[in-house]
Amino acid sequence: MVRTKRVARHVFSRLNLALLLTGALAGCGGTLEPDLSAPGPDGALDAHAQALTYPSGSSQTVVSRRVVYKNGSGAYQAAAGFEHFRAAGAFDGALHNIRIAEVDAPGVREALVIMSAGQKISSSGHSSGVTGQSSHWDASCDSVSCPNVSLDSRSLAMKLRALGWFPSGKTYLSVVNDANFDHLFDSDTKQRIVNGFSNWLQAQVRPETRAIYLAGSSRGGCLMMRMAQALRANTALDGIDIYVSSFDGVCRNSQGELGTFDSKINNPVRPWGTFYGAWATNLTAQFPRRNRLHIFHVVGGQEVAPATGIRAFSAYAGSTPPSKGTNLDWGWYKQTWVKWKHKEIGNPYSDPSASDQAQAVADTVDAHLTWLDARLP
């Protein structure tokens, strides 16, 4: 794959590190619980100082298409290029709300990049620091598509596009503005949606494809993890590196989604008086085939809605989950705990206070870019 040379990327990284060490980023705000705030011998809380800074890209205006639209007669119909979703068998009402914008779709595809926002939980849209969509991105939607969707230049998608690590002329890039991967759907419907996404993505693979990068927040993070499971299980893709960025990915523990179960691992850097924590999952068992697999999960674990039990997942080392989490780095899987609220992780540009924004960005969007930079060849 032709990319910006690794040496050039690392020169850029060192310059950013110098800025970081001289105070270019704001420090962490807020008070942490006394018994949880001190780093342990495993360096569980030292990740904040390691994130580099990355410049914004250019904003883009795109068309987000429904994978199943309504024709002039009001009948559902599969959109061209998205036939895999309907073929997977989820009901049309669910598929109609899945909207995807193909930002770059060149004929040559050395890399595939797919990024997803989290679940829409109100009548309005939802902003995302991953895809770059605003809170009312869907204001112009009709029964076929959503024209004039603006993607923020500061988002993960636009930053990565500008960096050129996956050159836009040789990279298929799509952002999923609404995956409609509803937390409350039954397991069968979810599996059919996962199958639709996975089959659609695999249809984008070309003989020259050497890397796939998946990124998502909240329910989008869970979707990307489940897509990675399907992709890595396909031996035909063994020659392709798969990179996954999860921003406080939320899977439903009562369904055993992604292997989560009813054992809560407490966030070691949770703010005072909170109960942040994540549902445990044995990710080694979930990914038995880990060659050329690279995953980074940034987790806060705030309950998404009060008294619902909806919260992020957490991996763990050993035979049983610990009561308090630590940062993990197993080579193929890395996990970092952060103090931020769920929405702040999903969009560090709009939800944290102004004084906290720089550190929130460093701990989320830029932390994922730092991780990816270190792993690309």
Residue 149 neighbours by CB distance under 10 Å: 25
Q: CA 142, CA 38: separation in Å to the nearest integer?
A: 52
8 A C-beta contact, residue 199 and residue 87: yes
Q: CA 362, CA 273: separation in Å to the nearest integer?
A: 24
DSSP state letters, 285-313: HH-S--TTEEEEEEE----SSTTS---BE
Helices (H), 303-354: 342-346
Residue 164 neighbours by CB distance under 10 Å: 16
In tens, the pLDDT along 74-128 reads 999 999 999 999 999 999 999 999 999 999 999 999 999 999 999 987 655 589 9
Q: CA 368, CA 364: separation in Å to the nearest integer?
A: 6
Residue 50 banded pLDDT, cuts 50, 70, 90 = low
In tens, the pLDDT along 218-272 reads 999 999 999 999 999 999 999 999 999 999 999 999 999 999 999 999 999 999 9
The pLDDT of residue 51 is 65
* Average pLDDT estimate for 175-204: 98
Q: Average pLDDT, whole number, for the chain?
A: 89
Give domain limits for the chain.
Answer: 6-375
In tens, the pLDDT along 264-293 reads 999 999 999 999 999 999 999 999 999 999
* Average pLDDT estimate for 323-351: 97
The pLDDT of residue 121 is 73
In tens, the pLDDT along 119-154 reads 987 655 589 999 999 999 999 999 999 999 999 999
Q: Which residues fall within 8 angstroms of residue 87, CB to CB, at 6 or more apart?
A: 78, 196, 199
Q: For the chain, what percent of residues have pLDDT higher than 90?
A: 83
Residue bearing tokens 């068309």: 63
In tens, the pLDDT along 288-310 reads 999 999 999 999 999 999 999 99
In tens, the pLDDT along 163-186 reads 999 999 999 999 999 999 999 999
* Average pLDDT estimate for 195-211: 98
Q: CA 161, CA 251: separation in Å to the nearest integer?
A: 28
Q: Which of 222, 167, 228, 175 is nearest to 202 (CA)?
A: 228
Strand 171-178 versus strand 313-314 pairing type: unpaired
Mapped onto helix, strand or coil, the DSSP state of residue 202 is helix
Is a pLDDT exceeding 50 seen at residue 40? no
Q: Which of 201, 262, 272 is nearest to 230 (CA)?
A: 201
8 A C-beta contact, residue 294 and residue 375: yes
Confidence (pTM): 0.89
DSSP state of 263: -
DSSP state letters, 89-153: T--HHHHTT-EEEEEE--S--SEEEEEE-----SSS----TTT---TTGGGG--SSEEEEEEE-T
8 A C-beta contact, residue 216 and residue 224: yes
